[in-house]
Amino acid sequence: MISDHLLSLVRCADCRRTLTARRTADAPVQLACDGCGRRYQSPADYLDIRPLATFVEQTKYLDEALHVDARHERVSPPLLGSRIRNDMLRKFLAPSPGELVVDLGCGSGRALLWNRDLGAALVGIDIAPFFSRDARQHIDLMLGDLRTLPFADATFDKAWSLDVLEHLSPDALAGMLGEASRVLKPGGALFVYTHVRKNAPIAAGLKWINNLARRLERLDLIDLRQERLRKSDHLNPLRDIPHLEEVAAAAGFSIGRINFYTPIVGGFVENIMMRMAERAMA
């Protein structure tokens, strides 16, 4: 959705000056920059505030081939790995009434929907326009680039970013974290969920699950084509935890807490059992 509150928050993606909004009964929202004069035309249910500047690196998630299964349209309650991630978010970040919180790389908007009940004002931003129907109806959403966030300095109390950092190059990661630091208020907090290249010993279980999945696919019992396509976008810029701490410090963050999670049981259920059920019902 596009609320008046969202319109008051956004800034020009190119010069960060204020935007003047124009609403009509039969036309999408139109925005004009009070500085550089750029005009933004948006759909009816989310803003498009992407920068004019083009980047050499662009995510494959802009490719509609990754979304032909329309999985982004459906938002079910958080289960298994999704439930663990969301519980960690709620525990560590604790969004509260009166706070303004942004989801950096919100995808379908499912985490925003899962956390509406906490009472914070929520905003979602993503580079790809594959938002769920429920998110478009109930959450302030916008298209934008995490490397040039269209917000003023010190806009948000808190932010989160789930399963995003692994899709960024080292330069893009530095840019994204720098922008997150800029738009957070002094003392603000950022929760991230991602992985590093260095695996814990228990991760051998994930390797076994992946090998089993490939064998089942060869037997035509599961279909992993969409998963492979999605994971082909992983650049995995973080080597290990010390590297994460180094990159965070360079952007102005200090690490408050780290929790480790290796999804052995969830990985088996989500990547094997659920895929077999989907194949059987296809």
pLDDT digit string (tens) for the chain, length 282 residues: 999 999 999 999 999 999 999 887 766 789 999 999 999 989 889 999 999 876 656 655 555 555 555 565 677 787 777 888 899 999 999 999 999 999 999 999 999 999 999 999 999 999 999 999 999 999 999 999 999 999 999 999 999 999 999 989 999 999 999 999 999 999 999 999 998 776 666 566 667 777 777 787 788 877 777 776 766 677 888 988 899 999 999 999 999 999 887 666 566 666 666 666 666 665
Phi and psi at 134, nearest 5°, equal -65, -40
Cα distance between residue 56 and residue 68, in whole Å? 25
Contacts of 229 (CB under 8 A, 6+ apart): 60, 65, 66
Residue 207 neighbours by CB under 8 Å, 6+ apart: none
Give me the domains of the chain, ranges plus CATH numbers: 53-201+224-281 (3.40.50.150)
Residue 180: HSE in the Cβ half-sphere, 13 Å Cα cutoff: 31
Q: Are 49 and 13 in contact (CB under 8 A)?
A: yes
